[in-house]
Amino acid sequence: MSPKPTGHVLGNDLILTRTFRAPIDDVWMSVTKSDRTALWFGRWEGDAGPGKTVRLQLTHEKDQPWSNVTIEECEAPRRLVVSMKDDYGDWRLELTLTQAGDTTELRFVQRLSDRQLAGDVGPGWEYYLDMLVATREGKALPSFADYYPSQKAYYLDGA
């Protein structure tokens, strides 16, 4: 059974959230430290910091390609904005973390150059963010086949 899509598109912004029962600093480490990002998205190497570029290997993609990622903003442990360009286009990704009590919310936003891209991009980010949840909770990793193409229509129909 396919996971239920949770994101939505507002204008050209694809927006997804995930909630963790964890301190903000711990969630921040899961989205910024190479050994932890490797578990759910990809490992990166280089000298990280605002205005700098690191190399990211998408370890869960076919052929595990490398991409250059520019860190536009980094306000630990609350906000990270990165951009990258690859064979599929230009990507600008924003992660915002907020903590309330013992819960931290991650808000993910990707500005789409064309709203129609949501049908392909939305299921991918659902998958990756669920991978993040699974690695943090010690659960089995999901399969991309459970997300795409089954969630494509949801995102194309005005998610």
3-state secondary structure of 140: coil
Do the domain assignments include residue 51? yes
pLDDT, tens digit (0-9, with 9 covering 90-100), for 68-95:
999 999 999 999 999 998 777 789 999 9
* Burial call 20-46: b when 16+ CB within 10 Å, e when fewer: bebebeebbbbbbeeebbbbbbbbbee
Token pair 């993910």 in the structure block, residue: 108
Q: Does the structure show a pLDDT above 70 at 64?
A: yes
Do the domain assignments include residue 2? no
Q: What CATH number should be reported for the domain holding residue 112?
A: 3.30.530.20
Cβ neighbours for 1, distance < 8 A, ≥ 6 positions apart: 146
What kind and span of H or E run contains 29? helix 24-32
- pTM for the full predicted model: 0.94
Cβ neighbours for 89, distance < 8 A, ≥ 6 positions apart: 113, 117
pLDDT, tens digit (0-9, with 9 covering 90-100), for 15-55:
999 999 999 999 999 999 999 999 999 999 999 999 999 99
Do the domain assignments include residue 3? no
Q: Given pLDDT bands bounded at 50, 70 and 90, which one contains residue 111?
A: very high
User: Which domain, by its residues, includes 86?
Assistant: 8-156
